[in-house]
Structure 1
Amino acid sequence: MANNGILFVSNAAKALKLCTKVSNMVKNVLYIKLNIDPECTLSIINKQIVNIYSKCWAYDVRLLLKPWDTLTKIKTNNPIGIIMFDKEFLKDADKLKYSIDNIKNDVLLKQIDDESTVHASLSNEKVKTYEYVALGGTFDKLHNGHKILLSQAALRATKHVTVGVTDVNMIQSKILWELIEPVEQRIKAVLDFLTDINPDLEYNVVPIQDLYGPTKHDPRLQLIVVSEETIRGAVKINEKRKENGLEQLDVYSIELAEEEYKLSSEEETKISSSNKRMRLLGTVLREPQPNPNIPDWPYVIGLAGGIASGKSSITEKLKLKGAAIINCDIIAHELYKPGLPLNSTIAETFGPDVITNDGEVDRRILGSIVFSDKEQLEKLNQLVWPAVIEEAKRRIKALGEQGYKIVVMEAAVMVRAKWYTHCHQLWAVIIPPSEAIKRLQERNNMTEEEAKQRVNAQPSNKEQVDVANVVFSPFWSYEYTQNQIDRAWENLQLYLEKRKRK
């Protein structure tokens, strides 16, 4: 199997069938080059963009848009390891090798047998072209829906394509936005795709902080390409251009591509980055690195998660899998007990009002002090954290001596206290802050303001995701959460088995 390959198709109507047929021959990127009558090129490619990207899922497929030109070499960003072609190219097979610019020395030539006799039918849609075309989107984890949008824009451009890639506040309304790739990475992926499908156009791929981006001030732009769900954005852009004295943009809208392989009822019916992010839950986002500062066994999983995130329910599911559990919040409460050093230290620091008549720490009064004042919270942390982590380490060692191979250390402050440095892996539990506030109000009978203070005083979801090896979100159904746990546990067992053999 080659890393990257190119498929030459003599008849556009065969493209999808042949694309599926070669799926086991290419590991990474498959380029498709259609041999089309130049007079029909735009119309046929317009149809094949939707046809191929809506059906080919096995790999990263890229339909080359430039008309066939035997005098100009085909340029690709990835080196070609295999050249595939249907029987119409057989007599010129050797020439195909010399038509490609980026090719491996040991490239393979392979004819793909196909006896069907099909003819390409022209699309009824006429393709109008423009010198300057624009489009925008999040373009997270570039998928086939994105490729349709980008390809339709590039097909209609004769000189230049401007792409706005959403950044900062524009992404925070997205499902699991904390798992969205950095904007620099998304820009690179878009540019890589566009320069692959047509390297002759000019591309300006830029981060945008609002709906408009360059469209509000660039007088050269003539067309904007949108999906049917973002067509209202095009209307607003034209309103802004009118305010700024610029020509209105023509609008070309594409239909949303349907998701043919939904893995659960929680996923969207369209091809979406949200589905891709949801499928990352319970998988390894970052490979665990050796931690020479702690013993190899027991294997310690740090479990982070904000208040009311559902962290405890995740812990219970891991306990049922066979993990031993250490709850650092419970350790802290135990260290608050009357007669213990921390109890008197807290009283001295925050005043006698935080101690009940029975000598217990009144956690509600203490919470009202520290969660409304960052300095007071930091003061409490400096008192509690060292004592808690030392006790947790003592218990981990004891559990290992009892024969436990996996210990989960649960703590709301896991990330902020950097206790994950005492673990082999960090797993994080996240839900939208609005949901955490709602749950906290219901569970603890708090006002909305009190709940917001508690949630905002803790590390954000993004802070936790940025350092986590695995992320869970118990925001959806019980079954969906359980699937995440099953996936993570299975991966962990495979990893530990390999670790034993080293």
Structure 2
Amino acid sequence: MLNTAISVSIAVVFISIVSYYFIMNNKSGALSMANNGLLLVSNAAKAHRYCSQVSKYVKNVLYIKFNSGPDSSLPVINKQIINIYTKASTQCGNVDVRLMLKPINSQEKLKTNRPYELIMYDRDLAKDVVNSLVNNAPPETQVQSIDSDKSVISKLLTNDGEAVKTYEYVALGGTFDRLHNGHKILLSQAALRATKHVTVGVTDVNMIQSKTLWELIEPVEIRMKAVLDFLTDINPDLEYNVCPIQDVYGPTKDDPRFQLIVVSEETKRGALKINEKRKEKGLQPLDVYTIGMAEELDQQSTEEEAKVSSSNLRMRLLGTLLREPKPNPNIPDWPYVIGLAGGIASGKSNITNKLKLKGAAIVNCDIIAHELYEPGLPLNRTIAEAFGDDVITAQGEVDRRKLGSIVFSDKDQLEKLNQLVWPAVVEEAQRRVKALGEQGYKVVVMEAAVMIRAKWYTRCHQLWAVIVPPSEAIKRLQERNNLTEEEAKQRVSAQPSNAEQVAQANVVFSPYWSYEYTQVQIDRAWEHLQNYLECRK
């Protein structure tokens, strides 16, 4: 009986060893692309070395986990945070890289917010550690090893970097729009220095309106969820409070528990203000840890910032499809009608001209309205009856400047004019769209300043919007129409805001920068439209 038991035990051990080496060294057949992957390294110093290699096999999220030891000290991790996220955009493509801050525990069942289908590990990692994590992974998980490069690792370890002081309660704040690698550095440095709790203040609506293209910033709820998702992935053992903030202080000005605030170079003045408030309240000042700007290694235009920023990401959204078009059964399938919206002096005509050069036919609703104002036409007489003969010139034409001075200073008068003009204009616009389709045009752009307010976009297949900062529109309007600043402000404020237009638009343009940058937006939008229409046939 004893001999039998010993034989069985030996057999089990032998089978386990053989199974381990079969699983870990099975390189027959190429790896298939995984949605999410996990990279296991024997120490934190190797994380950056292997990141770009493994990212070639991952579409979405790449988690990086390291073993404990002297080569995974806090200074080494601190250095790797900067190395990995600074270079991730150029070396790892569009993969969402996440360096997990806790060393590997061979007894734990590793939990991530997104399931991983690929595990890659370096050969220096202890086999029992790898075996444990592989055994806890789903059976269909691919497993592959990576050869280590000790010369590279030794070079990385010649300087451990700065000392890392830890605190129980750490705070930080920011916009955190479309979580990028700069944000990941900020959040990771805060989590690295916290032993118990991290609070993240996410700027709410009233704090974002000075940002470039702030109208494209995600809702605060989405931004908060993305922050919490990232933090719980990189260290699930800490307490997190991710909250909206309406001012620079957030909860840090009142809560005595906070000991450290993590800031970037551009927000460190906020930390000084917070400490002034805390001093007024008799609270201990916060230690301040400042992170340098992450250089934008993937800068796509001279118009963009040289640092990694959300502004760059929002600028890259211009000319792209923000919302999928919904089928519109109320209008014919062809021609394909693009409604082009934009406030006064936003640059709609500039965009229209570029689209015309691409091959689109144009129906300008503002021109139609002016044509309907001509002497002898019904609308001309109706306007005279509604607003008085003073708005008609000696030649019988509508004096648009005089009419504008009446309606742009009185919302009721503007509404009255709209009710007279809009039905006549849209009827004529639709007649022209149909005629252009019969002439063979596949795409017709219907341009109108009132596209949003009149809801004419419901008569189009897609809505494209043109925006510039209100201050820029006012400046342009003063120069173009020889108006006073107050007159220009009245006209701009009488129209739908940029935010209202973006909320409805499928595509957004902003001819605020150079001619070339505007053309890039047009090229991008037109190429996507052609691909879309090709599939629609």
TM-score (norm. length: structure 1): 0.97
Q: Do residues 327 (structure 1) and 361 (structure 2) align?
A: no
Q: CA deviation at 1:73?
A: 2.7
Q: CA deviation at 1:126?
A: 1.2
SS of the equivalent of 2:431 reads helix
1:106-255 counterparts in 2 under 5 A? 106-117=140-151, 118-119=153-154, 120-121=156-157, 122-255=159-292
Q: CA deviation at 1:25?
A: 0.7
Q: CA deviation at 1:116?
A: 4.3
Q: CA deviation at 1:12?
A: 2.9
Check whether the contact 1:41–1:67 (CA below 8 A) recurs between aligned residues: no
* Among 490, 499, 507, the residue aligned to 1:453: 490
**Counterpart amino acid of residue 160 in structure 2:** S
Q: CA deviation at 1:38?
A: 6.3
Describe the superposition over 1:17-73 as per-residue Cα deviations: whole angstroms up to 9, x where unpaired.
211011221111000011131695312111110011111122100000013322233
Other-structure match for 1:91 = 127
1:279-358 counterparts in 2 under 5 A? 279-358=316-395
My pick for the range that moved more, 62-71 or 116-125, is 116-125
Once the two structures are aligned, what percentage of the paired residues are identical? 76
Other-structure match for 2:83 = 51
Q: CA deviation at 1:283?
A: 0.6
Describe the superposition over 1:315-345 as per-residue Cα deviations: whole angstroms up to 9, x where unpaired.
0000011100000000011111111111111
Other-structure match for 1:6 = 38
CA distance in 2, matches of 1:112, 1:96: 16
1:25-104 counterparts in 2 under 5 A? 25-37=57-69, 40-57=72-89, 58=93, 59-89=95-125, 91-92=127-128, 93-98=130-135, 103-104=137-138
SS of the equivalent of 2:125 reads helix
SS of the equivalent of 1:67 reads coil
Q: CA deviation at 1:105?
A: 4.2
Q: CA deviation at 1:123?
A: 2.5
- Give the paired residue count: 497
CA distance in 1, matches of 2:254, 2:245: 13
Check whether the contact 2:392–2:399 (CA below 8 A) recurs between aligned residues: yes
1:476-495 counterparts in 2 under 5 A? 476-495=513-532
Larger Rg: 1 or 2?
2
Other-structure match for 2:49 = 17
Describe the superposition over 1:225-282 as per-residue Cα deviations: whole angstroms up to 9, x where unpaired.
0011111110011001111221110000111100001111010000000000000001
Check whether the contact 1:38–1:67 (CA below 8 A) recurs between aligned residues: no
Q: CA deviation at 1:90?
A: 7.3
Check whether the contact 1:281–1:471 (CA below 8 A) recurs between aligned residues: yes
Q: CA deviation at 1:87?
A: 1.4
My pick for the range that moved more, 338-347 or 411-420, is 338-347
**Counterpart amino acid of residue 75 in structure 2:** S
CA distance in 1, matches of 2:284, 2:104: 34
Q: CA deviation at 1:11?
A: 3.4
Which runs of no fewer than 5 residues in structure 2 stay unpaired? 1-32
Check whether the contact 2:190–2:262 (CA below 8 A) recurs between aligned residues: yes
Distance 1:39 1:130, change over 3 A: farther
Describe the superposition over 1:426-479 as per-residue Cα deviations: whole angstroms up to 9, x where unpaired.
000000000000000011100000000000000100000011011000000000
Other-structure match for 2:463 = 426
**Counterpart amino acid of residue 71 in structure 1:** Q
Distance 1:91 1:165, change over 3 A: same
Check whether the contact 1:217–1:241 (CA below 8 A) recurs between aligned residues: yes
Check whether the contact 1:38–1:68 (CA below 8 A) recurs between aligned residues: no
Describe the superposition over 1:170-189 as per-residue Cα deviations: whole angstroms up to 9, x where unpaired.
10000000000000000000
Q: Do residues 412 (structure 1) and 456 (structure 2) align?
A: no
CA distance in 1, matches of 2:427, 2:51: 59
CA distance in 2, matches of 1:39, 1:143: 27
CA distance in 2, matches of 1:472, 1:242: 46
Distance 1:39 1:113, change over 3 A: closer
Check whether the contact 1:3–1:81 (CA below 8 A) recurs between aligned residues: yes
Check whether the contact 2:44–2:80 (CA below 8 A) recurs between aligned residues: yes
**Counterpart amino acid of residue 123 in structure 1:** D
Describe the superposition over 1:170-210 as per-residue Cα deviations: whole angstroms up to 9, x where unpaired.
10000000000000000000000000000111111011111
Distance 1:149 1:187, change over 3 A: same
**Counterpart amino acid of residue 229 in structure 2:** D
* Among 371, 375, 387, the residue aligned to 2:408: 371
My pick for the range that moved more, 123-132 or 264-273, is 123-132
CA distance in 1, matches of 2:433, 2:298: 42
Distance 1:13 1:66, change over 3 A: closer
Q: CA deviation at 1:491?
A: 0.6
Q: CA deviation at 1:115?
A: 4.1
CA distance in 2, matches of 1:293, 1:24: 46
CA distance in 1, matches of 2:354, 2:446: 14
Which runs of no fewer than 5 residues in structure 1 stay unpaired? none
Other-structure match for 2:427 = 390
CA distance in 2, matches of 1:414, 1:52: 46
Describe the superposition over 1:75-117 as per-residue Cα deviations: whole angstroms up to 9, x where unpaired.
2111111111011237344322245xxx444111111234444
My pick for the range that moved more, 447-456 or 381-390, is 381-390
**Counterpart amino acid of residue 300 in structure 1:** V
**Counterpart amino acid of residue 86 in structure 2:** S
CA distance in 2, matches of 1:39, 1:32: 15
SS of the equivalent of 2:141 reads strand
Other-structure match for 2:29 = none
**Counterpart amino acid of residue 105 in structure 2:** D
